[in-house]
Structures are given as structure tokens and as C-alpha cells.
Structure 1
Amino acid sequence: MKKLLTYIIIGSACFSACKKTEEQLYTAQDNIYFDLNFKDLSGNNRRMDSVMYSFALFPEKSVDTVWLPVRIAGMRRSEARSFRIAVDEKATTAEAGKHYKSLEKEYIIPADSGVAKVPIILFAADPALTSKSVRLKLRLVPTEDFTVTNPEYDSAKVIFSNRLEKPAWWATWQGELGNYSRVKHELFIRAAGVNELPVAFDAQVLPKVLFAIRRFKNFLASPISWVADNPQEGYTLEPAGAGKYNFFSITNPGKKYLLELNPADNRYYFTDETGARIV
């Protein structure tokens, strides 16, 4: 009888505890966070705290969008729910309206979904972006629908510019490409049809690499003919006087490259950021 009574007491305690746990599970407010995790080469989960972007990689664009995934930690619901994002002004150097579009008052997690992608709209017009990067730091804010409880995951940074840095792969192929300059790198992206080359020499990719480099060299040798022969690329030339032209994408006329005739060899050359001819 004592054993039976003991079992009943224990069973009642377990039922009470389980019921309380279940109530806590279903009544606790859901949490929300920036999901900037990725798997490294070893298959381990890593978290980024920043998203990097350069307009110089996309010469046809003067406006672009970076998408930040926001995910819930909790239950999906059959109704849409809202969340808010604020700019951390102390850690932000980008200016609203100048470098990015001001944030919306709130964003939505759709019904029956656990994630939303927040559009951060960036602008390339500021000439200073060709010489520096700016930073936009964002922080999730609690709402009636969501709490924000993990400081490590409640913020994200978008760092962007309109400039390039020398990539590691340039050294691998410098014998074909020549000395590095930012303007030369930008023109390579525009003419070669690729944004990057392999860092390591590989015989299997060599034909594709040489094809891209050959396209770039043909472009430098005769940029006026290249524009005429490749209308699908979306570039044009406008006379700039005194035997000069401005080369630019028709979708982004604010980014222009000066092309000048050299009477000594009757060829047109671009100049890089130091004033040297690009060959």
C-alpha cells in the first residue's frame, strides 16, 4: 500500500511538472535573431557578424539590395507577425538617404513561416565610396510578437563601398594580367565576363582562365571596337573632346572611365587611379 501511494504521489508530481513545462513551452514569447550562420570548409557552423558588399563588382548597378535573414526561435504561427530593426547610430558611418534607404517601421514574418529576408537597399552615388567603406549597424528591437534575448545574435553589420581591393588570385595570374590597379581590376570585371579567377593554378581551369584574360586583353587593345561588337554587354562611349571618350554602362552612367588617344601609337588607353596608362 505504501508503494502504491508513493507511485501515485510521484505520478502526480510528474504530471504537474510536465503540465507546467508544457504551459511554459507554449506560452513563452518567441525570440528573433539575425541568422548569419554558415558552414566552413570543415562543416562546422560559423557566425558572421558582417556582410561585405562592393558596387565595384557590379558596374551596371547604382542601387542594389543586400538581404539579411531574420529567423524566429520558437513556434511558427498561423498568422503574420511583425518585428522591428533599429540603426545603431553610434556604430554606423553610413548616412540614411545618401548611402542607404531608411528602414521600414516594421517588417513581417509571414504566416506559417519561421524566417524573413530583410531588404537593405544600398546606394552607390557618393563619390567617397570609391576611396572608403561605410558601415551600417542594425539591431533587432523587441515587439509585442517577439523578444530579443541573445546579444550575440541581435545585431548585424553591412559594410559596403564602391572600390575593390587586390584579390589573392591576381598574384597567381599577374604574368598575364600585369601590375595591379583598382581601375584595371574594375575594367577586367567589365570585359572578361567573370568577377574572379582561381587562386591556385589548375590545369583543368586553365582554358577558361586564359579565355577570360584574352577577352580582357582584346578589350584593352581596342575598346571602341569592343563596345561596337558587344552591344549585349550594355556599355557605350560618349565623346569627351580632344580625342577623348567616356566609357560607361548605360544602366549606371555615373561611373565613367576616361579613354584617351595616344598619338605616338594611335591607340586609345584608359588610365588608372595613379594616372598611369593601363596596358
Structure 2
Amino acid sequence: MRKLYALLIVFATCLFAGCDENGDRGYYEDMDRIYFVKDSIICRLGEMQMGVETYTVQVPLKVLGRPWSENRMFKVNVNRKLTTAPEHIYTSLSSEFVVMKDSVNACIPIELLRDRIDPMVDTVYQIVLDLEVNDTFGFGVQEKLQSKVVFSNYLQEPDWWYALEFVYWGAYRPEKYQKMMEFWGGPISFEEYASRMIQVVLCGKKMYDYFKLHPEFGMEFPEATPWPYE
């Protein structure tokens, strides 16, 4: 019986402590804490249109606490041991960012410099961010104190490319496929190629015409091959 009373007392103590911590209106009333909403963000730069030279990733964070009537700063560091992206392919980050007044949400913008990443090299990079304690914020959820942006500018040659490589679109270049995806509205699967070959060839003709009008890109094609379905 004494053990039962002791357990009830412990339970009641924890219950009241929890109420105090979160406040009568449901807000967290201890020191406000901040955490990453996502532990990773994947960015496939190679699938974007060929004219996109930079792309800004927004890394979201959230505050455990109530909104303030003034802006608040929080600190973030790039984890140099875990980050594999060289510094010249993304814009340097500040160590401090802001949670705007009347909000519990924030974002860290990371500008990826796509035009500096070789599209023919199959390399996956990552930028790893760590939260830091400051005078305004403590740490939030333990598993949400680190986030990473994973990205690549490589666009794999589609399985169907080789079939008409020596007839119409020539040796594979990511720029050619990116332009075809732009006209098509997205990646072209092997199933789409097999069932809609005429439409794919017409899409390739649009790509061919574009690069013939823009020889500055240096795209090469088979010589004197008449395109069908003109």
C-alpha cells in the first residue's frame, strides 16, 4: 500500500510539473526553444530547367513557445566535418538568422550555385547545419537539432536515349534532356517512350530546333538526318 501511495505522489508531481511547464493556456513557458522541422531536404538540381543558374533551398525551423512582439535571433553553424559541399558551390551562410515578430516559424535560405556544379559528374553533396544555444533560445527536440540539404546537379541519361542517339538527338548531354523535359513537362520514362514514341521524337525535334537557334551551347547532332513527323 505504501508503494502505491508513493507512485501516486510521483505521478501527481509529474502531472503538475507538466502543467507548469506548458502554462495554463497551452504555451511552453520555460525558455523558448527552437528546432528543425525536417532532418533532411533533397534537391535534384539536374531535373530543373537548363537556364536555372542558382536555386535557393528554404530550411524550415519552428519555435517551441509563444510568438513575441519583436524579432528574435537564433544561431546556426555549418558542420564542417559532415558537410561535403565545397564552399564555392553555395553562398556563404550567416551564423545568425531571425524569427520574425508574431511568428513561431523561421527559414534558413541556402543558395546553391548550380552553374558552378558540373552536370556530367555523378556527385551527391550535402550541407549539414547545427543549431546553437544563445540568450534567446535553448534547444528543442533532441532529434531535431541538425538538418542537412542533400543535392546533386547530375541528370542520369534516360534508358531510352541510346535507341535513337545516332539518328536524331546525338550523344547524351544533360542540357539536351533538360530542354526535352521542359517541353515534355517532366522526366520521360521508358514506358512513355515505348508507348508514345512519336510524341517523344517530336519533343526531341523541338529540342533540336532550339539548340540550332542557339549554337553558343555547343550541342552536337548527327549530320543530315531528316526528322520525321514534320
SS at match of 2:74: strand
Could you say which structure has the greater relative contact order, defined with CA pairs below 8 angstroms and 6 or more residues apart? 2
Change (3 A) 1:186 1:81: same
Match of 2:127 in 1: 136
TM-score normalised according to structure 1 size: 0.59
Supply the distance in 1 between the matched residues of 2:103 and 2:220 (Cα, whole angstroms). Answer: 52
Q: 2:207 aligns with which of 219, 235, 239?
A: 219
1:189 aligns with 2:202: no
Supply the distance in 2 between the matched residues of 1:130 and 1:124 (Cα, whole angstroms). Answer: 12
Match of 1:259 in 2: 220
> 2:179·2:207 contact (CA, 8 Å) conserved in 1?
no
Q: 1:105 aligns with which of 80, 92, 95?
A: 95
Please state how far the C-alpha of 1:56 moved relative to its aligned partner: 5.0
SS at match of 1:82: strand
> 1:55·1:62 contact (CA, 8 Å) conserved in 2?
no
Q: 1:161 aligns with which of 142, 152, 160?
A: 152
> 2:180·2:207 contact (CA, 8 Å) conserved in 1?
yes
What are the superposed Cα offsets for residues 190-223 of structure 1, whole Å, 9 maximum, x if unpaired?
134222246877xxxx88x964652224433x45
Please state how far the C-alpha of 1:82 moved relative to its aligned partner: 1.0
What are the superposed Cα offsets for residues 113-168 of structure 1, whole Å, 9 maximum, x if unpaired?
111122101112435463122221111111212112433211111122221135xx
SS at match of 1:152: helix
1:145 aligns with 2:133: no
Change (3 A) 1:261 1:19: closer
Match of 2:53 in 1: 62
The structure whose Rg is larger is 1
Change (3 A) 1:190 1:20: closer
Alignment RMSD = 3.7
SS at match of 2:219: strand
Supply the distance in 2 between the matched residues of 1:128 and 1:224 (Cα, whole angstroms). Answer: 20
Supply the distance in 2 between the matched residues of 1:93 and 1:153 (Cα, whole angstroms). Answer: 20
1:83 aligns with 2:74: yes
The structure carrying a bigger strand percent of its residues is 1
Change (3 A) 1:108 1:259: same
> 1:82·1:106 contact (CA, 8 Å) conserved in 2?
yes
Aligned residues: 202
Supply the distance in 1 between the matched residues of 2:53 and 2:83 (Cα, whole angstroms). Answer: 21
Consecutive unaligned residues of structure 1, counting only runs of 5 or more, are: 1-13, 37-47, 228-235, 238-245, 248-256, 269-279
> 2:77·2:132 contact (CA, 8 Å) conserved in 1?
yes
TM-score normalised according to structure 2 size: 0.69
Supply the distance in 2 between the matched residues of 1:122 and 1:65 (Cα, whole angstroms). Answer: 6
> 1:55·1:161 contact (CA, 8 Å) conserved in 2?
yes
Which structure 2 residues correspond to residues 14-93 of structure 1 after superposition, within 5 A? 21-22=19-20, 25=23, 27-36=29-38, 49-55=40-46, 57-93=48-84
Supply the distance in 2 between the matched residues of 1:182 and 1:81 (Cα, whole angstroms). Answer: 53
SS at match of 1:130: coil
SS at match of 1:91: coil
Consecutive unaligned residues of structure 2, counting only runs of 5 or more, are: 1-11
> 1:164·1:186 contact (CA, 8 Å) conserved in 2?
no
